[in-house]
């Protein structure tokens, strides 16, 4: 997961800190050669009230969803970046010693550190920090509070994911979530009953709790990753079997590293290669784009729209930073997400609903909105692909999902 270009809450995706921190951090990292021109890629799976969600669902679905992003912006930035700004100036900007004009009108939540002490995760509130810790991160934290050998194993797992495919991080979150949920269910059951199950019932009891914890994940359609991943254009069809075996071997290595870090005897079935492959395949087939617009873009647009006198005064201070950022002033936070409820919705090439990102949202929230009136009892459908494609191309793409579409439109268009 690329977490260089934008500083956002690791749980809800809100931009955090301040406009000054966002700008200074981006330019400072650019100077170190750590920043990239592409969007900041985050990946997660939703925490909805039907399985994972910090907040109540809005319309059909709550957290983490998105349509295509627009990184163009309307401010008068230059295509080419200016010379790098002095490091001490950027540090003053990040440390709060230097303020830019009108940034108070774009106040952001403060940066809350990870409860476990790692430097990879940051949050917009203690609520988000605690929610992430309880739902996922407590098993995956690499902070100093984590036991040394497990911490070393986590670093190896993360290093492998970063160098191969960060979809493994998503799979680790699913397994972490399920383990933590299972433990919570066990504590709750023990509190209610007042005692542990008898020894001969322990395995049956543990498995039933595991299945209960697994329910939100089971809502997603799953095929093994190496079976459903699309064949890259540069791989010949004659080499397909070899390619899929290489993908399987990647997953095997990743799972081995993850087991060394967080294996739990009572949740051992989660650590089979078959289950791991299906979890990754679930994301391959069900994940959705997530985009959160940058407040830095809004800030520079605001400056550009000021009356002439105020604009001139503000640009005197802000222009060097805008020039140094170049086109990257408008870079958003972009990634993918999994929603259990949305994953239950069937496909149609003439859908009656779609995912929608509201302009006023400044986090990972999104909704499912109706494209036309939907009758009581009518199935809600969305499109898994670009429904504007010709019939034959749609069917080819849908084959990756394991079915041939027979919606009303396809039946009409087939020849």
Residue 196 phi/psi, 5-degree rounding, is: -80, 155
Is residue 335 classed exposed, middle or buried when 0-12, 13-18 and 19+ CB atoms within 10 A define those classes? buried
DSSP conformational letter for 169:
H
Q: What distance in Å separates the CA atoms of residue 269 and residue 257, rounded to the nearest whole number?
A: 16
CB 83 within 8 A of CB 320: no
| Local confidence pLDDT in tens for the 415 residues of the chain | 344 568 999 998 889 999 999 999 999 988 887 654 433 434 444 444 333 333 332 333 333 322 233 333 344 444 455 678 999 999 999 999 999 999 999 999 999 999 999 999 999 999 999 999 999 999 999 999 999 999 999 999 999 999 999 899 989 999 999 999 999 999 888 776 666 655 556 678 888 999 999 988 887 767 899 998 888 888 888 999 999 999 999 999 999 999 999 999 999 999 999 999 999 998 888 777 777 888 999 999 999 999 999 999 999 999 999 999 988 888 888 777 777 777 778 899 999 998 765 555 555 666 788 999 999 999 999 998 899 999 999 998 888 787 899 999 999 998 6
- Residue carrying the six token digits 């690329």: 2
Nearest to 407 by CA among 344, 351, 342: 351
Q: Give the Cα-Cα-Cα angle 271, 277, 283 (nearest 5 degrees).
A: 115
Element (H, E) at 175: helix 167-193
pTM comes to 0.78
CB contact set of 235 (below 8 Å; sequence gap of 6+): 243
CB 270 within 8 A of CB 311: no
DSSP states along 243-305: HHHHHHHHHHHHHHHHHHHH--GGGGGGGSHHHHHHHHHHHHHH-EEEEE--HHHHHHHHHHT
């Amino acid at each position: 997961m690329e977490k260089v270009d934008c500083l956002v809450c690791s749980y809800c995706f809100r931009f955090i800190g301040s406009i000054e921190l966002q700008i200074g951090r981006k330019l400072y990292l650019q100077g170190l050669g750590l920043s990239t021109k592409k969007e900041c890629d985050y990946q997660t799976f939703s925490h909805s009230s039907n399985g994972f969600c910090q907040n109540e669902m809005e319309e059909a679905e709550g957290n983490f969803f998105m349509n295509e992003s627009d990184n163009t912006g309307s401010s008068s930035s230059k295509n080419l970046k200016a010379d790098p700004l002095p490091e001490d100036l950027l540090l003053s900007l990040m440390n709060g010693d230097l303020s830019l004009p009108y940034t108070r009108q774009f106040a952001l939540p403060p940066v809350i550190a990870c409860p476990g002490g790692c430097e990879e995760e940051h949050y917009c509130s203690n609520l988000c920090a605690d929610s992430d810790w309880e739902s996922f991160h407590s098993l995956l934290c690499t902070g100093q509070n984590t036991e040394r050998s497990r911490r070393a194993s986590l670093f190896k797992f993360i290093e492998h994911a970063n160098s191969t495919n960060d979809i493994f991080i998503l799979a680790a979150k699913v397994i972490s979530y399920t383990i933590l949920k299972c433990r919570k269910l066990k504590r709750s059951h023990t509190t209610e009953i007042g005692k542990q199950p008898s020894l001969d019932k322990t395995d049956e009891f543990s498995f039933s709790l595991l299945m209960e914890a697994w329910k939100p994940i089971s809502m997603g359609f799953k095929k093994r990753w190496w079976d459903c991943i699309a064949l890259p254009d540069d791989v010949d069809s004659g080499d397909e079997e070899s390619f899929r075996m290489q993908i399987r071997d990647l997953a095997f290595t990743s799972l081995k590293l993850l087991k060394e870090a967080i294996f739990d005897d009572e949740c051992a079935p989660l650590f089979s290669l078959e289950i791991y492959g299906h979890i990754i395949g679930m994301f391959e087939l069900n994940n959705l784009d997530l985009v959160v617009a940058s407040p830095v873009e809004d800030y520079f647009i605001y400056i550009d729209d000021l009356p002439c006198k105020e604009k001139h005064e503000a640009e005197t201070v802000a222009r060097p930073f805008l020039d140094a950022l170049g086109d990257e002033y408008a870079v958003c936070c972009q990634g993918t997400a999994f929603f259990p409820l949305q994953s239950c919705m069937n496909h149609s090439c003439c859908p009656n609903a779609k995912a929608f990102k509201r302009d006023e949202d400044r986090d990972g929230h999104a909704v499912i909105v109706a494209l036309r009136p939907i009758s009581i009892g009518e199935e809600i459908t969305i499109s898994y692909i670009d429904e504007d494609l010709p019939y034959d191309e749609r069917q080819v793409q849908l084959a990756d999902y394991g079915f041939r579409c027979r919606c009303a439109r396809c039946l009409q268009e087939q020849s």
